[in-house]
């Protein structure tokens, strides 16, 4: 059960133009911050600020990728599946449902962490 301040914070975050766009773009494909910057028509620093806020509420997952040159970079995917807000007995109740994580993604993250 979330606090009323969480309800306000998450509602404000979802209302934010860039956070909203990041979730929409990453709901069907993983994207890097640079790709999100292009897709959202925003600076990379703006994208990273929104990524950080979305991760505070576990609405966005981060994966470490390895490119062909051996460099690492991060990609992001939406974890949000559903948000339910109910008014019960004079208080808001917030329930966030997350998308299940892919077992292959978890294994890749584990393997990359061992390197």
Please report, for the domain that includes residue 24, its CATH number. 1.10.10.10
- Taking the model in full, what pTM does it have? 0.78
**Residue in the structure block whose two tokens are 């897709």:** 39
Give the number of domains in the chain.
1
Q: What is the mean pLDDT of each run of 10 residues along the chain (115 residues)?
A: 76 95 96 97 97 95 87 92 90 86 55 53
Residue-number span of the structural domain to which 57 is assigned: 4-114
Cβ partners under 8 Å of residue 43, min gap 6 = 37
Q: Are strands 80-88 and 60-66 parallel, antiparallel or unpaired?
A: unpaired
């Amino acid at each position: 059960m979330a606090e009323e301040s969480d309800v306000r914070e998450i509602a404000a975050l979802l209302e934010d133009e860039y956070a909203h766009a990041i979730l929409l773009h990453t709901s069907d494909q993983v994207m890097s911050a640079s790709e999100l910057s292009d897709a959202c028509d925003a600076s990379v620093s703006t994208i990273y600020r929104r990524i950080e806020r979305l991760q505070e509420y576990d609405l966005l997952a981060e994966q470490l990728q390895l490119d062909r040159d051996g460099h690492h970079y991060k990609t992001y995917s939406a974890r949000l599946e559903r948000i339910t807000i109910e008014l019960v007995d004079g208080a808001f109740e917030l329930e966030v449902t997350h998308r299940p994580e892919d077992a292959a993604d978890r294994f890749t993250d584990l393997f990359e962490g061992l390197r």
